[in-house]
Structure 1
Amino acid sequence: MAHAEKRGWDKRAGKFRYRGRYKLPDGTWGSVSRDDQGQPFYRARDAEGYAHGLEVDVRRKTFINPRDGRITVAEWSELWIESVELANRSDGTYRQRLRSVILPEWGSVAMGDVTEVAVKTWEKKLRARYSANYVKSAMSVMRTMFDDAVSSKVRGDNPVPTRAARRRGRFKGKGPKDETVIASPRQALLLARNAYELRGLAGYVLIVTIAYCGLRINEATGLRREHLALVDEGTGCRLLVQEQSQRVNGKPAQVDPKYGSTGNLILAPFHAELMRRLLASHDSEWVFPATRGGKLDTGAWFYTNWWRPIVDGRRVAARFASRPATLPALRAVAGVEGIVPHGLRHSMKVWLDEAGHPRVAVEERMRHVIPGVEGTYSHTTPAMEKRIAETLQSLWEDSLKPVVDRREYEPPRTPRNTRNQVDLPEISQRSGSATIPAQATTPSAGRVHSS
């Protein structure tokens, strides 16, 4: 039965200290000398009452041993990270957030001593130093780690507040409902034309493929020739999403798509023809090869020197000893400032929703899983897929029509890093764009005219 025992004399408080004794689940005796706030017991009845409460928890099978909470955050994180089953990129992200921001602050702190107020104070400091997305990611990792600590009975509660629990302090509005930048079919074409100027036919078709198949960027760069079925056997030409390009331990590798979302996507006729001509233009195993035929890397270099000029244009071109000729100047595409490759995936979803296609067919093309009963009983038919291909063909053909009632281009936007750049003459803002050679267009659509 729970009881109290007198301990030593506390000189600072001028009182005797007490500890509570109680029966552990295995029948041995445990002891506790501090309450939940870390304060010592100076009265026997306080120690006995606390110990009695722990025995009640033992009988109810909700007992959490206070000694378990003395494990440090660093020690627990080592045990925890090895128990979490994550994809390669997520595993790297979790470890990076632990190493960079979580353990430097909390590593030496006991798990049981981490309080919600201290976590909120720390989060506020992070928001002053890092981007909102980075802070959100770090807090998500820490929240998950403490969730598992609660389920493992290392402590009784999670001190990392959820979004719903943050209703405290200065009111913060919800902000924009949707911050994702999407493109119209016409804007996707203009981006593809800029990509053609920068990287030729491979760049042109890469943009078209992301937009009209809704691929993630690493799924597109991970496409091999064997993933294309360009002979129509009655169900349309197909693109198979089987893997994606990713770095594993710092080296390029092919891994499963995100969430294992493989797929078999029908291609619109124009798109199938573009794919045939692209494959005929090179002998690389990769559908969208790098300049020298290898796998296209989508690291920081890709976004700085490849993607941003396509979207924001470029007045200048870097000069290299091995490349005396300057790269072509590009105009910025109006209305899509800040768009990322994934925004083109979002764009295709919007186009198909606007066209009124069944949800199940659209979500299957996006390789999403519809939850609940709807997902169990809804199915995509070949007829639904063919109608999607017809819609995409129509959108493509409409995007080729010249536009005269609005300006589609803007002067090149100022790049984030302007070092070692030399001004070139202003790029004309007259309506016009480089003409894509006939071999880069489908016969049904005709030549891609200047707009």
Structure 2
Amino acid sequence: MGYAEKQRAGHYRGRYWSSTGVLDTVKDANGRAVRFKSKREAAKAANDMEALLRQQVVQESPVPVLPLRQTAAEVLPQTAPEVPKLTFGEYVNQWYSEQDLAPSTMQNYRRHIEEHLLPEFGDKTFDEISRQNVEAWARKERSLYAASSVKTWRGTLHLILADATDEKLIGSNPAARRRGRGRRAGRSRDRAPEKVTTDALGILLIGERASILSGRDDEFVGTVTKGYTGVRWGELVGLEKEYWRPDSVRVEWQLYELDTGELDRCPPKDDSYRTVDNPRFLSSLVNDHIIRTDPKPCECHGRTYIFRGYGAPNGASRRCGVKLADVARRADVSTGTVSNVLNRPGAVKEETRLRVEAAIAELGYVRAGVPADHAAHWRRSGFATWLFQPAVTGWYPKKAPQEAHPVPLLAEPWPGVPARGRNASDRAEACWVPIAKGLTPHGLRHTNKKIMRLLRTPPKLMDERLGHLDGSVQARYDHIDPSMRRELMEGLTEIWEAALEMRRAMCPTSPVRALDVLLRGHR
């Protein structure tokens, strides 16, 4: 008898037993599972499929006529027909195609399946996957990757095998783990390191350094905003101008970066829509930034975002036409010489310049754009690798063929400006000392929680600002009073003023325009 099975997205699918004894799904002409809006429709379609299969069996195999003194056991086959065994790889491909989840979740599932589950279990049938196999695979993965990552991949495996168990393809879930099994003292081995945080002065100095590296104010304003509001990275990148209010910011959307490079505009994590109160100094800082930059709608989403990306828009490799390297090959010079002809023609010999200009005219080379153009949005890897981490640690990361090295600085103006161009390390006069080694952009969110703790902020208000949900009875009976919000805003302002005063004691000016205005006007 067929039945209806409810899916996570809210629809139903019809399930029925096929003639081979395998539980099957009602599919359309293209072989895709049909999604029914109601449970009744799905069950009816499953029963109709079973009836159709029984009718086909009757037509193809008529009932045999028993001769005299011959029993039914002698006529009918003694063994059931062999059922084809389904492999994990075959099942997981169908399972993945039937999921209807957020693009970020689908992306994570696909990565877990393709990179970690299929190489180990793809060719195995379900009766070949045992608890011992799963444990051996988990131990091997833990020797290569972080324990927290292995735990996530095992969770995906558990979910897939749980669905296979519900479909009667497997007797029990071999990826399930009994609670409390094994030595309890061994749990500390998988404990992640404590998250690195900083303080109010650290937020200010990191934002200043990041802006010095980028040569603009966006990174300073963005770092301070993240440090004093506690918004997530995707919420900061996806902060639209219309949701910035005079005394608060409304979190309605985020931009989630997919593996394809596309930024998906989606609701905040766990649907944590919220309004975050802003101290007056932060509202003034961001409002001045909006007036100064005058943001325009981006081409990818058609919406106006407060912060722009850093660097030229990516996509030069996908752009058609003649490139700089083609001109260099035609003129028999280096790409640096072609760049000098385009930007500093006086620094190139006339004979070489004429040869390069002739190659440009012959090939029809067109410059790719103005260097001042910036990408529409920050990218997590680019921001963290080339701006945030060098600002936090004072070191550039390793990038072949160059090893990791300190950020080369010219001593004036304080706190130093990066030395650019050839032999920058030889011309450097100073380097930055680390502020909080190991700090990540997400660590500023932890820093915001720590600052609120120092200000004795009620837990209910902290959860509201960070977008967390506390389902305890105590939280249900806890409520926020306007006076609590005022006290928190006053406390954040005092901490900001103290950090600004400490920074002014180091040097009364700054190469970052937005900070320089604050230092000169601060008493």
State yes or no: 1:142 paired with 2:161. Answer: no
Taking the TM superposition and a 5 Å limit, the aligned residue runs for 1:3-152 are 70-152=85-167
1:337 Cα offset (Å):
0.9
Q: Aligned AA for 1:300?
A: S
CA shift in 2, pair 1:256/1:86, >3 Å: same
Following the alignment from structure 2 to structure 1, what is the Cα–Cα distance between the partners of residues 451 and 510?
Answer: 26
Give how far 1:381 is off.
3.4
Counterpart Cα distance in 2 of 1:149 and 1:375: 38
Alignment of 1:364-443 (within 5 A): 364-402=464-502, 435=510, 439-440=514-515
Cα distance in 1 for partners of 2:20, 2:110 equals 38
Q: Residue 225 of structure 1: which of 222, 241, 250 is its match? A: 241
Helix, strand or coil: the match of 1:218?
helix
Distance 1:320 1:133 in 2: 41
Distance 1:130 1:119 in 2: 16
Q: 2:394 pairs with 295, 310, 313, which one?
A: 313
Question: Does the 8 Å contact 2:20/2:83 carry over to 1?
Answer: no
Give the CA deviation at 1:320. Answer: 6.7
Letter in 2 for 1:289: R
1:100 CA displacement:
1.0
2:460 aligned to 339, 360, 375, which one?
A: 360
Supply the distance in 1 between the matched residues of 2:248 and 2:113 (Cα, whole angstroms).
42
Deviation (angstroms), 1:275 = 0.6
Aligned-partner SS, 1:337? coil
For 1:241 and 1:328, how far apart are their aligned partners in 2?
43
Pick aligned residue for 1:156 from 171, 177, 188: 171
Aligned to 1:333: 434
The amino acid that maps onto 1:348 is N
Q: Following TM superposition, by how much is the alpha carbon of 1:30 offset from its aligned partner in structure 2, in angstroms?
A: 8.0
Contact persistence 1:311–1:333 (CA under 8 A): yes
Residue 305 of structure 2 is matched in structure 1 by: 286
SS in structure 1 of the partner of residue 307 of structure 2: coil
Q: Distance in 2 between matches of 1:138 and 1:329?
A: 45
Relative to 1, partners in 2 of residues 1:150 and 1:331: Cα closer, same or farther, differing over 3 Å?
Answer: same
Q: What residue number does 2:266 align with?
A: 255
Residue pair 1:268, 1:390 contacting (<8 A) in 2 also: yes
Distance 1:99 1:174 in 2: 27
TM-aligned CA distance change 1:29 to 1:308, over 3 Å: closer
Q: Hey, what's the Cα distance between the residues in 1 that align with 2:198 and 2:443?
A: 7
Contact 1:270-1:441 within 8 A present in 2 as well: no
**What is the RMSD of the two structures over their aligned residues, measured on CA atoms?**
3.7
The AA in structure 1 aligned to 2:264 is A
Pair 441,255 (structure 1): closer, same or farther in 2 beyond 3 Å: farther
Asked if the contact 1:309/1:330 (under 8 Å) is kept, the reply is: no
Partner of 2:76: none
TM-score normalized by the length of structure 2: 0.60
Contact 2:204 2:224 (8 Å CA) reproduced:
yes
- Rounded to whole Å, the distance in 1 between the matches of 2:100 and 2:478 is 30
Supply the AA of the counterpart residue of 1:352: M
Which residue, out of 301, 304, 320, partners 2:382?
301
Distance change (3 Å), C-alpha of 1:174 and 1:147: same
> How far apart are 1:345 and its partner, in Å?
0.5
Structure 1 residue 186, shift from structure 2 partner: 1.9
Structure-1 residue corresponding to 2:12: none
Residue 182 (structure 2) pairs with residue 167 (structure 1):
yes
| 2:230 corresponding residue in structure 1 | 214
2:228, 2:133 → 1: CA distance?
48
SS in 2 for 1:245: strand
Contact 1:193 1:433 in 2 (8 A): no
CA distance in 1, matches of 2:179, 2:508: 50
Does residue 1:205 correspond to 2:221, yes or no?
Answer: yes
For 1:358 and 1:169, locate their aligned partners in 2 and report how far apart those are by CA, in whole Å.
34
Partner of 1:239: 249
Larger radius of gyration: 2
CA distance in 2, matches of 1:297, 1:190: 20
* Distance across 2 between alignment mates of 1:367 and 1:82: 32
Secondary structure in 2 aligned to 1:240?
A: strand
Q: What percentage of residue pairs aligned between the two structures are identical?
A: 24
* Per-residue CA distance 1:345-398 (angstroms, 9 max, x = gap): 111112112322221111001111121434444333333222221121122112
In 2, the alpha carbon distance for the partners of 1:281 and 1:400 equals: 22
Asked whether the equivalents of residues 237 and 254 of structure 2 are also in contact (C-alpha less than 8 Å), the reply is: yes
Name the SS of the counterpart of 1:397 in structure 2. helix
Sort the Cα spacing of 1:376 and 1:167 in 2 relative to 1 into closer, same or farther, 3 A: same
CA contact (8 A) 1:197 1:328 kept: no
* TM-aligned CA distance change 1:153 to 1:378, over 3 Å: farther
Q: Deviations over 1:287-317 (max 9, x none)?
A: 1112435422324222221221111114236
CA distance in 2, matches of 1:330, 1:286: 34
The one-letter amino acid paired with 1:298 is: R
In 2, the alpha carbon distance for the partners of 1:354 and 1:95 equals 42
Question: Could you tell me which residue of structure 2 aligns to residue 268 of structure 1?
Answer: 279
Give the secondary structure class of the aligned counterpart of 1:154: coil
Separation in structure 2 between the aligned mates of residue 377 and residue 268 of structure 1, nearest angstrom: 27
Change (3 A) 1:73 1:294: same
Q: CA deviation at 1:174?
A: 4.5
- 1:230-282 alpha-carbon deviations (Å, 9 max, x no partner): 2xxxxxx1111111112355323322111121211110011011111111221
TM (norm. structure 1) is 0.68
Aligned residues: 354
Whole-angstrom distance in 2 between the partners of 1:259 and 1:172: 28
Using a 3 Å threshold, how does the CA distance of structure 1 residues 171 and 220 change in structure 2: closer, same or farther? closer
Deviation, 1:215, is 1.0
